[in-house]
């Protein structure tokens, strides 16, 4: 109930006014039955913009930190994310990937739409990074199609570190569903999972036009953060002196 209230009354109209989304290929999203929508992830707003324009309800796997904030604000944030169709997934530890797959298969088992960002995290520089194989594992185990999706312009509207998005027209493009039934029964084969994931990311890339980086986004972001820390440490060790 609250999901529909957010979509049609509280949040959806505001997002459509703020971003004026131009939607392409919406007919590629199945009107019924289980399917995965796999897209790039450029902005915090992506979580809410896609549900606002889809005809069907879609459930996303979201990082658990959104649901565990302290105090009243944290509790309200958790309620909001759950009401918006987000499922918390703990991304730490060795079992994190399997937990996400179990949650995703539960959504698909109910015949619903599941939204996934195969990169695993938001892009910190607007480029498209290597996909993780969980999306392939879910697609093969559930036997469902994967609809590639590209968000275009949301990075510029709300880049990392910017708390609130700037008004800007964005595009949301959906591609033709990808059928992986030819790989039925091979969900435990690492080479197959990698090949299926790469096919999905290639389809997303064709829609988004981003520069592609054959590395995991989290690794690249961690390296960049470390370089920034090193520069700050160097600045403290060797401060500029005038005169």
What is the sign, positive or negative, of the torsion defined by CA atoms of 61, 62, 67, 73? negative
Angle at 28 between CA 18 and CA 111, to 5 degrees: 95
Band (pLDDT 50/70/90 cuts) for residue 207 is: very high
In this model, does residue 198 exceed pLDDT 90?
yes
Q: Which two tokens stand for residue 32?
A: 């019924």
Quote the pLDDT of residue 243.
Answer: 46
Per DSSP, the three-state class of 78 is helix
Considering the domain 1-215 in this protein, what is its CATH number?
3.40.1130.10
Q: Which two tokens stand for residue 53?
A: 């324009």
The pTM of the full predicted model, rounded to 2 decimals, is 0.88
What are the extents of the domains in the chain? 1-215
CA distance 121 to 9: 29
Q: Which two tokens stand for residue 193?
A: 């999972």
Strand partners, 146: 36, 178
Digit-coded pLDDT (tens) for 56-84:
999 988 777 767 777 766 676 677 677 66
| 41 within 8 A of 123, measured Cβ to Cβ | yes
In this model, does residue 94 exceed pLDDT 60?
no
Dmax (CA) for the chain in angstroms is: 72
Digit-coded pLDDT (tens) for 143-191:
999 999 999 999 999 988 888 889 999 999 999 999 999 999 999 999 9
Please report, for residues 28, 68, 128, 208, the alpha-carbon distance to residue 216 in angstroms, rounded to integers and kept in the order given: 28, 25, 9, 18
Per DSSP, the three-state class of 112 is coil
Strand partners, 24: 173
**Average pLDDT over the chain, rounded to whole?**
88
Angle at 50 between CA 72 and CA 79, to 5 degrees: 15
CA distance 222 to 194: 23
């Amino acid at each position: 109930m609250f999901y529909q209230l957010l979509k049609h009354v509280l949040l959806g109209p505001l997002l459509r006014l703020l971003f004026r989304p131009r939607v392409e290929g919406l007919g590629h999203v199945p009107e019924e039955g289980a399917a995965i929508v796999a897209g790039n992830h450029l902005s915090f707003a992506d979580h809410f913009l896609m549900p606002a324009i889809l005809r069907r309800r879609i459930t996303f796997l979201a990082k658990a930190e959104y649901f565990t904030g302290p105090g009243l604000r944290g509790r309200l944030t958790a309620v909001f994310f759950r009401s918006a169709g987000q499922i918390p997934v703990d991304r730490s530890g060795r079992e994190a990937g399997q937990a996400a797959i179990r949650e995703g298969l539960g959504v698909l088992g109910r015949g619903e739409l599941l939204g996934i960002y195969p990169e695993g995290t938001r892009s910190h520089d607007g480029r498209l990074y290597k996909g993780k194989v969980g999306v392939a594992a879910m697609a093969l185990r559930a036997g469902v199609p994967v609809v590639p999706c590209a968000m275009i312009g949301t990075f510029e509207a709300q880049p990392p570190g910017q708390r609130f998005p700037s008004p800007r027209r964005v595009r949301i493009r959906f591609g033709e569903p990808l059928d992986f039934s030819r790989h039925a029964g091979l969900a435990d084969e690492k080479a197959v999972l990698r090949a299926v994931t790469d096919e999905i990311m290639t389809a997303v890339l064709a829609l988004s036009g981003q520069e592609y980086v054959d590395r995991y986004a989290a690794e690249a972001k961690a390296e960049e953060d470390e370089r920034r820390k090193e520069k700050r440490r160097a600045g403290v060790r060797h401060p500029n002196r005038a005169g």
